[in-house]
Structure formats: structure tokens, C-alpha cells
A and B are shown apart, each in its own frame.
Chain A
Amino acid sequence: MAITRYHPVHALLYLVISFLAMAMIFLSLGAPFVAVLEVIIYAGAIIVLFIFVVMMLNLGKDTAQQESAWLRPRVWLIPALLSLVLFGEMATLLIAGAEDEMQIAVVDPKRLSMSLYGGYIIAVELIGFLLMAGIVGAAHIGKHPKKHLHRFLEEKEMGEHEINI
């Protein structure tokens, strides 16, 4: 559902639902820590970011109209075709393998953390780099050019220009 809505906020809400469902799946697979993490970070922080941007750019009715004008069923044809081919191949590959029953055993958060700080410590450090890079990059890119004049003065200047026409 998330992918077919016109209004961005609708799409985001459906995305939240999708994430929550995913968390449940994780829980049933015996990964409680990951499930909680999904809800907190994915559904918590990332969706919030999206919502912020949508609000800042004021994407509402206009976007919905644009998208409805653009998204005729005809447009979905080729992408759907390609995607179906890919899905078909992947499914074939997967089903062809032997279907074993899966024993669900809960993997403790403790085990997870032992593995993280044990074997995967370097990867953790690298992820730290990545996040740092992300922060710095986002901060730099999102910077607005400095305004030299106070906004009142700017408006007044523009007003004067209008009078002189």
C-alpha cells in the first residue's frame, strides 16, 4: 500500500504499518532485540525525518495532484513486468531448494551483544564512521545561505522596488 498512494503522508503512514508488521515477523522469528530496534529507529526516527521534510516543503495537495496526473495504470506496465520477472526468478530459485522446517529458537540479546562486541567490533567502529559522515554531510548540505539583511529590511527594500516601477 505504501507505494501506491498519491499523498505522501498517506504513503508514510502505510510505511509505518509495514514496519510494525515487520517487527512482529522478527519477533516470531526469535529476534526480539531486532524487533524492538526496528520500531524505535526505523519507525521512530526515520519516518519522523520523512514527516519533517514533507511538512517543511509543504508537500500536500499539490503533490497528490501531480502524482495522480502522472500515475496512470499504463505507467505501471513495464516496471511491473520487469519486477515480476525478477520475482519469478527469485521465487523459482528459492522454491527449488529443499524446504526444511525451521526450529524457532530465540536468540538472546546477550548473545547478540557478545557477537557485536566480539567478532564484529571493527564493523561497529565503521558504522560509527558512517553515522558521523552522515551527520556531517547532512549538516553541511542542509545549510541555508546566510541572509545578510534582517528580514524586515529585506521586505521593505523589496517594497520600495515595487513602488519605483
Chain B
Amino acid sequence: MLGYIPALPFLGFLVLSLGGRVLPRSAAAVIGVGTVVVAALLTMVVGIRWLQVPPVPGEYNLLLWNWFTTGDLSVAFRLRVDALTLVFVFIITFVGALIHIYSTAYMKHDRDHARFFACMNLFVGAMLLLVMADNLVLLYLGWEGVGLCSYLLIGFWYEMPANCSAANKAFLVTRIGDTAMLIGLFLLYRQLGTFDIQTILQRSPHQFLRGANDITLIAFLLLAGGMGKSAQIPLQTWLPDAMAGPSPVSALIHAATMVTAGVYLIARMHVLFLLSPQAMAATALIGGITLFVAGCSAMVQTDIKRVLAYSTISQIGYMFLALGLGAWGAAIFHFFTHAFFKALLFLAAGAVIESLHHEQDIFRMGGLRRRLPLVFYTFLAGAAALAALPFVSAGFYSKDPILWYAYSARGGSVFLYLLSLAGAGLTAFYSTRLVVVVFGGEQRTPVTEKPGKVMTIALVILAVLAVTAGFIEWPRGLFSRFLEGVLPAPVLKDGLPSEGLFQLIAVAVTLLGIYSGYVLYRRRQEVLLRWRQSARIRAVRLFFLNGWGFDALYRTLFVRPFLFISGINKPDWLDWLNKGVVRASLTLSSLLSVSQNGSLRWYIAGVLIGVLFIITLQFFL
């Protein structure tokens, strides 16, 4: 039964891509949504069975077929589900199903209805393959598959050139990460002679010395792959532009699932990372820096989806931070809750955008609290989770441990702790800003249509989860205990103050962030006006708005030289050879056509000369 879970979305993809044009809209929607919903139900069945009777080896293993065998290498299509995979599969199918249901309403009027669901199904299938893969080749297949689907879906409305360039950018930037990862995989194979994940994890401690150069290189390369897919610094520039795709796409791919592929990879290969303290430190540092930088950028964005995009980058930074500190379970738990509330936020943002007839500037929205009450409450639940509102939101239960581990874990430090604390404050601030500006105040754009029942049901379910999902961890450790067979617990420093103190500090910072956001944007808006006068603040704001100048940096470093070099070769000198051949044959032809002048006597003379030539040869041969 396990095999059906990824197979169904692939089947849906095939049916919709081949026959999508001839199917009526409702049939395409049913197929597209149905496959993922059934996969979600199957996952729940598998999960319930797991909880009732946990399998003895800690996993379900299913060999589908032998993919290829060359020489010593044998790669099989083998699915392996352990606790970690089960968490991911659950999120992918369940949140995916909700988003698909939402999309039937969102994409109702779109011309390319079937193509959308085909691509989404392909994505779900590829992502499931990625997390259920038993060997690295299959994982890489899923990895590439999700990259492809991301490209297809970002550029879904391909008639706008801006969307196409955003899709290209996403694909190219993640490609850099993918290439690094591939090199890492090759190095791993060279050292260990197998692609099988479990074998690798078991053999690596014996094969590599802790902190040796080769394992560090491999770990860094895998980290680079994760950084590309999960949009961490310095490969994060593609995610804000990827918001050009439809909102369900942003929800599914760029909030809940694809961008967490990097998190999955690192968590899965945690043994390799544990063998290389440098890689762990780098991961934590990257995560920490990313969350701070993205948080600053999210503060000043005006497009609602860009705020959420930077917020996603920031939250994944938290996950990377946790991974780098060895707090694997905390990272996965944060992924778990983040999927719910981020998807919720994106879907609600989509509902808002649709209701205001494609208005995405938050400063042109406002006063929607009374007009769209259900959307308001669900968005509020999501934003509260994002800001990690204490006790009532899932985000609190997942972010708080990370803050604790930032100080207390073996790799933790005051710097990382302060960084993550500042990030938490920023998160609270911009979440509040978003809610206040979009839903409070006076209405600036009229509401053209209210979201339908289908959309609101999805939003409500996600909102409930955003609030309650955290309670799994509340009696500390249900979630971590679920994962403990797979992921080890973090190693803490000695002589630590009590955790409660840190929790208190975190709560205080969060509340401070919320309060300042509320005050600034609701009550004391004149402060904002005063700030807008100051040139220095405006410069800082512009800096944050442009994502700390990464785009401009890359443009100068890479894009301009590349265009320059390719411009040099524009009168392609190799092409000159081809053109030369053409020119030579044309010249020759015009020369020879003189002889075809229609004069009979010329022709006879030609024959005669030929005969003479042949006979003359007689004398010399």
C-alpha cells in the first residue's frame, strides 16, 4: 500500500498532462485533487497503523523494482518510510490536499486549469519520492523533479515575461546548489561505494575521521545543495521573485514543502554532519545570518507575498540553525508547524488578493476586518503562529526550543542566541505590521468578491492546525520521542541556567515585537511619517527592501560580466566559418552560372573540351 502514496499523484499528472485539454474542468479538478486527497488518506492509514503497532526495525520498506545495475553499482526504486519520512509525507500529502482543494476555487477561472493540477500533482509525486527514497539516486531524482515543477509553476502564467525570468532565476540559482550536491554525492560514492542511505549512515562513522577534510567537503557540498533549494544566504535571491506564481503554488512549494527539502536532506544525512563539526558550525551560522537578514527585509516589504517570502526564508533559517546546533528534532518540529501556518498565510493572502481583484500592495489594502471576517481570523491565527504568540500558537512551541538550543547546545553561542532572539523580535514585529496594515484602518480598495466556501474551509482547517499543532510537543517530547529512533537528541553544554529563564526572555521579546508593531502602525503612524523624512532611514529601508543588495551584487558580479563576454562573441567567429562556406558556394555558383548561358555553341564546345580532356589523359596514363 505504501507504493500508492507517490504513485497516485504521478498517475494524476500523467492523466492530466496527456488528456487535460479534452477533460471538462470539473473532471480535471476531481482527478487533480482526488489523487492527493487519497494519498493523504492513505498516509493517515499508514500513520495510524504505525502508531498502533510500531514496526520493529523502525521502518517500512518496499522494493518497487530494480532501476539499473551497472558493474558494481545497483540502484533500486525502493521506498523506505521511517519516522522522519512519515512526518514529511504527512505534511506533504495533508497540506498538499488542502491546498489542492483551495486551488479548485482559486484557479477556477484560469484557462490552463488542467496544466496547473498536472504540475501540482507531479510536484507532490516528486516530493514524496524525495522523502521516501531509500537511496541517494532516487532522492536526487525527486530533488530534480521538484526543481522542475517549481520552474513550471512559477512560470505558470508564462505569457508575462517577468514570470518567465523569475522561473529562470529560481531554476538557475537552485541549480548551483544542485550541482554542488551532485558533486557531494559522487564523492560520497567514491568513498563508500554505495548510494544506499542506511548503509552510508551506518558505515560513515567507521570510514571517516571526525573533522577530516574529505567528510567536511562532502558535508559542505550537501549543505550547499540544501542552501540552494531552501533559499538560504547566499542562494536566497530566487524566492522573493518566485512569488510571481499563483498563491497556491507559493503555499505548497515555497512555504511548506520544496524549500524544506534542504532541511530533510541535512536531517537525513545527519550522521555525515555530525562527523564534521565545521559543517555543523557553518550550517548554524548560515541559518542564523539568514534569519536575521531575511527578517530585516521582511520588515519593509510592501507586497504581501514578498513579506511572506522573506518570512519563509527567515523561518527556514531557524530550521537550519537548529540543524547546525544538532537539535534535529526541534528543526523538524519547526518544519512541521511552519508548514501549517505558512501555507495558511499564503492561502489567506491569496484570498485577500483575489477579493481585492489582484491588489498586492499592503498599503493599498486596509479595513478588511469587517469585510472579510473569516479570512481575518484565519490570517490572524497564522500570523500569531508566525510571531510565536505564547501558549496559543503552534509557532511558540516550535520556535522556543530553537532559541533555547541556540544558547545551550554544544555548538551554540551567545552570538547565535542574540541573533535568533533579534530574529524572533523582528518576526513578531513584521507579522503584526502585516495584520494591522492589511486588515486594520480604513479600506482603500473595495472588495470585489468574497472567497467561496471551498477556500474558507481549507483556511479554517489550516488555522485550527496552526493553533493546535504545537500541543503535540507540549507535554514535552511527544514529537521528539516519535522521531528519536531516527534523529539523535541534541547535546547540551554543561552548567546551564534553567530553560524557564530563556523561555521568559523569548516571550518578552515576542510581546515587545508585537506591541511595537501594533503601536507603530495603528496608533502612532506619525512616527512613520517622521521617519520617512529622514534620508538615512530611507536609505536603510531601501537597503532592506532590496534584500540587502544581494540581487544587485549578483548582477554586478555574475550577470554583467557574462553578458559582456557573450556580447563580445556576438559576431560569432565560429559562425564565420559556416557563413564562409555559404559565401564561397554562392560565389562559385555565380561564377559557374556564366557557363549556363543557353548558347548552344557554348555547350557543344563544352562537350568537346571534355572529350579532349579524356583523350589527353590516354596519353599520360
Contacts and interface: CB of A to CB of B under 8 A. Distances in A.
Contacts of A92: 619
Contacts of A102: none
A82 B608 contact: yes
Question: Chain B interface residue count: which class?
Answer: under 10
Interface in B460-514: none
B609 A82 contact: yes
A93 interface: yes
A133 B619 CA distance: 41
A71 interface: no
Interface stretch (A38-46, A83-91, A121-129, A143-151): A83-91
A76 to B, nearest CB: 13
B618 A85 contact: no
B611 A86 contact: yes
A78 B605 CA distance: 10
B605 A86 contact: no
A82 B618 contact: no
A10 B127 CA distance: 100
Interface string A62-96: 00000000000000001100110110011011000
Contacts of B615: 86, 89-90, 93
Interface in B580-621: 605, 608-609, 611-612, 615-616, 618-619
A93 B612 CA distance: 13
Contacts of A90: 615
Nearest to B616: A89
A85 B618 CA distance: 14
Contacts of B605: 78-79, 82
Contact of B612 (A78, A79, A82): A82
A86 B608 contact: yes
Nearest to A83: B608
Contacts of A86: 608, 611-612, 615
A89 B612 CA distance: 8
A90 B616 CA distance: 10
A79 B605 CA distance: 8
Contacts of B609: 82
Find the residue from A79, A89, A92 having the highest chain B CB count within 10 A: A89
Contacts of B611: 86
Nearest to B611: A86
B619 to A, nearest CB: 8
Interface in A78-120: 78-79, 82-83, 85-86, 89-90, 92-93
Contacts of A83: 608
Contacts of A85: 612
Nearest to A79: B605
A117 to B, nearest CB: 35
B603 to A, nearest CB: 13
A88 B424 CA distance: 108
A89 B615 CA distance: 7
Nearest to A89: B615
B86 to A, nearest CB: 90
A53 to B, nearest CB: 18
A68 to B, nearest CB: 18
Residue from B605, B609, B615 having most chain A Cβ neighbours under 10 A: B615
A92 B615 CA distance: 11
Nearest to A92: B619
Contacts of A93: 615, 618
A90 B609 CA distance: 14
A86 B618 CA distance: 13
A13 B438 CA distance: 115
Contacts of B608: 82-83, 86
A86 B619 CA distance: 13
A92 B618 CA distance: 11
Contacts of B612: 82, 85-86, 89
A89 B608 CA distance: 13
A93 B605 CA distance: 22
A135 to B, nearest CB: 25
A82 B609 CA distance: 8
A90 B612 CA distance: 10
A69 B616 CA distance: 35
A79 B612 CA distance: 13
Nearest to A93: B618
A9 B477 CA distance: 125
Nearest to B615: A89
A83 B619 CA distance: 18
Nearest to B605: A82
Contacts of A82: 605, 608-609, 612
Contacts of B618: 89, 93
B606 to A, nearest CB: 11
Contacts of B616: 89
A140 to B, nearest CB: 23
A76 B608 CA distance: 15
A85 B609 CA distance: 10
A86 B609 CA distance: 9
A93 B618 CA distance: 9
A91 to B, nearest CB: 11
A97 to B, nearest CB: 13
B609 to A, nearest CB: 7
A90 B618 CA distance: 11
B610 to A, nearest CB: 11
Nearest to B608: A82
Contacts of B619: 89, 92
Nearest to A82: B608
18 contacts: A78-B605, A82-B605, A82-B608, A82-B609, A82-B612, A83-B608, A85-B612, A86-B608, A86-B611, A86-B612, A86-B615, A89-B612, A89-B615, A89-B619, A90-B615, A92-B619, A93-B615, A93-B618
Given A92-B619, A93-B615, A93-B618, 7 more contacts: A78-B605, A82-B605, A82-B608, A83-B608, A85-B612, A86-B608, A86-B611
Interface of A: 78-79, 82-83, 85-86, 89-90, 92-93
Q: Which 8 A-B residue pairs are closest in the complex by CB-CB distance?
A: A89-B615, A82-B608, A86-B612, A85-B612, A89-B616, A86-B608, A86-B611, A82-B612
